[in-house]
A and B are shown apart, each in its own frame.
Chain A
C-alpha cells in the first residue's frame, strides 16, 4: 500500500472549527500588550511633526530629566546600521539629518511606565528647518518638485519605480474597436484597522536580542533587528505572539517597531515594550496606496475586447518599503481576468512627503480593479450588453494568454464562477425585482453591480526568492504530531488549515496535530505570510514532510505487523490476509521511538518557476491564479445620498477548499472590508498630515453595514497545490468593492469614479444624473 492511498483521510474539505477559536472567544489568548517581563520598561517614539525638514538640533535633556526615564536613543546610539531593510534600504530606523514625513521617528524614550514615557517624550526639543514638501504624486512628478525620495532608492526624481507591459500594439487594438470607453479613477488611503494595534517587546538575552511581537513575517523582523544592532542573525530571535489581525499591515511595519524597541532594550539592558495606541497606529503606520488610475478600453460590437491602455500612479509616501512590489502586482493585475490581444500598461510609484504606504490585502490590485471593472461596466452600457455576459465572453480560460502573454495551463475557474453567480443570484429574476422596486419607490433606487477578478497566487516573478517554504513534522512518542512552520497565524485561520493538511497527509485526526509557536530559532524560514500563499506553498511543504514521515511509518507498520500488506481501519493498521495483527498509530510511534528511529521529517517546497521580462512586461508572472465573480445589490437614498448594500453573492475559484467554514469567513470578511473601501473609509490628510486618526472619523463597516451573503466555491484544482488548493485570502476584498461601486453607478445612472461613495459624493452624482 502506498502512502497517498493511506492519506485519504477526512481532514481536507471539512468545516473544522478553528483551533484557536476557543482561546480567543474565552479571552484567554494573550496578545502582546497582555505580556510582561521582569524589569520591563515602556517605549515612546519621539516623532517629527513636519513633513519635510532638516533636523537642526535635537535636545533630549528635558526628557532625561524626567525622573522615570530610563534611556533615550538617538541615531548616535545605533550600534549597527541606521536602516530598516525591507526591499530597499532607504528608510532609517530614526531620521538622522532630514525628516520626510509627519510622524517619522527621530528619537526613542524608555521609562518605567507608559504614561511617563509619553509625558517625557513630549518634552523633547527639536529645532526643525522646514524644507519645501510635496504631497500629491502628480505634483511630485513635475520638474523642480521638492525631492521626497532618497536618491539612491529612486529610478528618477520622485519616481521610485516605473513599470510597464507592452503586449501587441494598442493602436492597432483600438483601431479594431467599435466602442472605446475612457476614464480616470481615484482612490484614497485605506487603513488596515487590525483589532490589535502594532506592538512588540524586545528582551535582551544571552548577548543577543529576542523580540516578541504581533507580526506576520518573523524573518523580515529578524533581518531588521540584526541590522540595527549589528548582530549575527543567530543572536536574534523573533517570536510571534498571538496576532490580532494583520491584513498586510504587519508585513513590513513590525520590522520598524522591533528595530526601535531593540535599540532601547540594547541601550537600557532591560526588556522594552513598544505598543502603539490606535491614533498613533493610524497616523504613522502603512496603509493602502492612494491612486490615480487612467483607463481606455476598446471592444468590438459583440463585446470582444481588443485593447486596454492603462496609466496609473500610486502615492508611495516617503520611503520605498514594499511599494515596488505593490506596484508590480497592480501592473500585472491591471488588465483584469480577460483575453485581450493588445495591452499597454504604465505604472508609477511616486515618492511624496507623506507616511509610507505598504502592504494591504490585495497589494496594489484593488485600485486598478476599481478602474478595470468600472470600465467593463461602462463598456457593457455603451454596447447595450449584459455586464455578466460581457465578462463571460472575455473571461480567461485554460489555454488563453494573460495580459503578460502567459499561457494558462490549468486551473482557470473564472467562467464557471460567472455562470454560478448568475444562477445563485437568479440574475434575470433579480433584475426584474430591482426594476420593479425602482418603479415603485419614490426616493430610493436599487442597483446591481458585478465584478470579476483574477489573483496571482504567491510572490510572483518579482520576488521568486521568497516563494519557498519549509516544514518540520514530528511524530511524538504517543502518536500525536507536532508541526513547525515559518508562516504565521494572524487570525486568518492558517493554523487550522495547516493542521488539516498535516492530518490529511499523515492520515491522523486533526485533534492530534499541533502547530508549534513561530520562533525564528526553531522553525524553517518559509518566506513571508503574505500573498495568499500560506495554504498553497506552506501547505505543500507540510505534504512533502508528511510523505517522508509516512514512508517511515509504513515501514514500521510492516515490521510490527510482520506482513507486507496492511489496511487502515479508522486509526488502526490491520495486517491483511490470515494474520489478524493490529496496531494503532500510537503503537507504531512507541515502537519507532523504542527502536531509535528518526521520528521527524523536514519538507521543503519551492513554488513552480516564474519568469518575467521587465522590458516588455511579458512572461509567466505567477505560477497559478485564483478567480472570483461577485454580485452586489445596493439601495441609494436619492434625498440623502446614503447607500446601503442590501444583498450580495460571491463565487470563488481557489482550487480545492481545505476548510469551507474558514474559507467562507475569509469571503465574508473580504466583502465587509471591500464595502468599507467603496463606501465608508476615508482618511483625510492635508499637507501630509492625517487630520483625524481616530475611529470617530474613520468608519469601517459594522455588522449592520454587511448584508446577507451567499457564498459558493467552484473548485478548479491546482496540480501543484496541496490537495489541489490555491490561495484565497485577498481575493474577496479585491472583487467586492467594485461590485458595490458598479451597483451604485447603475442605481443612480452616473459613474462613480472616486472612493469612498460617501453620502455627499453620491448625492452629487444623483443630482447630476437624475436632474
Chain B
C-alpha cells in the first residue's frame, strides 16, 4: 500500500528525503487513514516524529515555539501552554485520548482541513509557521500558510519545523464551541472560537474564527470590528447574527447542509455573548 518508512538521522536528511518525494509522517492519524482509503500511495514515508527541531517547546519573551511533532496531549499537559487557553480548549476537543496521544500539531496544520480544530486557535493567535526546505528557512502566517482544503503553502521538499504563538496583550476571554453530531470523537460541523477583550461589560476588542464553514478557517473581520464598543450581552449582538452568517461560505456534505452551517455560525454569536454575560 505504501513504500518504506525511513527514519532520517537529522533534519538535513529529512529535508533531503522529502525533496526526493518522500512524504512526512508524524503521528499518522491522518496519513494512514488516507492511505488505507486509497487516496494516496506515497512511495516513501519520512518519519519526522523524533527530530529534535520538531520536538521543541520553548517559551521566549515574545511567545511560545511549538515543535511540529509535539502531540496534542503533550501540549494539553505542558504548563508552557497555560498562557494560551484557547489552544488548550481546541486541542481538548480533538478526537479521543488515544488519538490525541498520537496526533501532532504539525500534522493537524499540514492536513489543512477546514475542520482542523487547532487551526481555529492558530488563526485567533495569529500564529507563524516556521518552515525549512532545500532553499533554507522561512516563515508564514497561518492564514497565508493554509490555502484551502488540504492545500498549504509548502513547496516541494519543505517541512514544517515549528509553530510560533505570540503572546496576546492583556487578558482576553477565550471561548470555543465545537458543534457536531455526538458528545465526543467527532469532526466539527461548525465551530466558533473567540478571544474577547473586555472593559467591564464592554467589548474593547475581539477576534473570532470559524471552522468547517469555508475552505479555510474564517476570521469574520466585519463582525470583529462591529463588536467593539458593544456590551457583551445577547441583546447587544443580536443584529450581528445575520452578518456573521453572511460571512461564511459553507458547503453541504455528509455531516450537515450549508444552510444549517450558515445559520449555526450566526447563532453561535449568541452563545458567545451568553458565555461572556454569564462568566463568573
> Does B bind A?
yes
Q: Is the C-beta of B222 less than 8 angstroms from some C-beta in chain A?
A: no
A759, B184: Cβ atoms under 8 Å?
Answer: no
Q: Is the C-beta of A93 less than 8 angstroms from some C-beta in chain B?
A: no
Q: Is the C-beta of A701 less than 8 angstroms from some C-beta in chain B?
A: yes
Q: Is the C-beta of B228 less than 8 angstroms from some C-beta in chain A?
A: no
B182, A640: Cβ atoms under 8 Å?
Answer: no
Q: Is the C-beta of B274 less than 8 angstroms from some C-beta in chain A?
A: yes
Report how far A641 CA is from B180 CA in the complex, Å: 10
Q: Is the interface of B mostly helix, strand, loop or mixed?
A: loop
Choose among A641, A644, A692, A763 the residue that contacts B183 (Cβ–Cβ < 8 A).
A644
Total B residues in contact with A, Cβ cutoff 8 Å: 25
> Residues of A contacting B260 with CB < 8 Å?
641, 759-760, 763
Nearest CB on A from B190, distance (A):
8
Nearest CB on A from B186, distance (A):
7
Q: Is the interface of A mostly helix, strand, loop or mixed?
A: loop
Q: Which of B134-142, B199-207, B265-273 contacts A (4 or more CB under 8 A)?
A: B265-273
- Chain B stretch 226-278: residues in CB contact (< 8 A) with chain A: 234, 254, 256-257, 260, 263-264, 267-268, 270-271, 274
> Residues of B contacting A680 with CB < 8 Å?
181-182
User: Which size class do A's interface residues fall under?
Assistant: 20 to 34
> Residues of B contacting A697 with CB < 8 Å?
254
Closest to A758 in B: B181
- Chain B stretch 50-91: residues in CB contact (< 8 A) with chain A: none
Nearest CB on B from A400, distance (A):
41
> Residues of A contacting B256 with CB < 8 Å?
758-760
Report how far A132 CA is from B234 CA in the complex, Å: 55
Report how far A759 CA is from B1 CA in the complex, Å: 37
Closest to B33 in A: A696
Choose among B184, B186, B234, B264 the residue that contacts A640 (Cβ–Cβ < 8 A).
B264
Q: Is the C-beta of B187 less than 8 angstroms from some C-beta in chain A?
A: yes
A763, B263: Cβ atoms under 8 Å?
Answer: yes
Q: Is the C-beta of A705 less than 8 angstroms from some C-beta in chain B?
A: yes
B254, A763: Cβ atoms under 8 Å?
Answer: no
Nearest CB on B from A188, distance (A):
14
> Residues of B contacting A759 with CB < 8 Å?
179-181, 189, 256, 260, 264
Q: How many A-B residue pairs have CB under 8 A?
A: 62
With contacts A759-B260, A760-B256 known, is A443 near B185, CB below 8 A? no
> Residues of B contacting A691 with CB < 8 Å?
254
Report how far A451 CA is from B81 CA in the complex, Å: 48
Report how far A758 CA is from B185 CA in the complex, Å: 16
Report how far A680 CA is from B184 CA in the complex, Å: 12
With contacts A759-B256, A759-B260 known, is A639 near B268, CB below 8 A? yes
A701, B263: Cβ atoms under 8 Å?
Answer: no
Choose among A443, A701, A704 the residue that contacts B270 (Cβ–Cβ < 8 A).
A443
Report how far A705 CA is from B180 CA in the complex, Å: 12
B183, A705: Cβ atoms under 8 Å?
Answer: yes
Interface string of A675-689 (1 = CB under 8 A from B): 000011000100000
> Residues of A contacting B179 with CB < 8 Å?
640, 642, 759
Interface residues of A (CB under 8 A from B): 115, 442-443, 639-642, 644, 679-680, 684, 691-692, 696-697, 699, 701-705, 758-760, 763
Known: A640-B190, A691-B254. 12 other contacts (CB 8 A): A640-B271, A641-B260, A684-B254, A697-B254, A702-B185, A705-B182, A705-B184, A758-B256, A759-B181, A759-B256, A759-B264, A763-B260
Interface residues of B (CB under 8 A from A): 1, 96, 179-187, 189-190, 234, 254, 256-257, 260, 263-264, 267-268, 270-271, 274
5 contacts between A and B (CB under 8 A): A442-B274, A641-B260, A680-B181, A701-B182, A704-B185
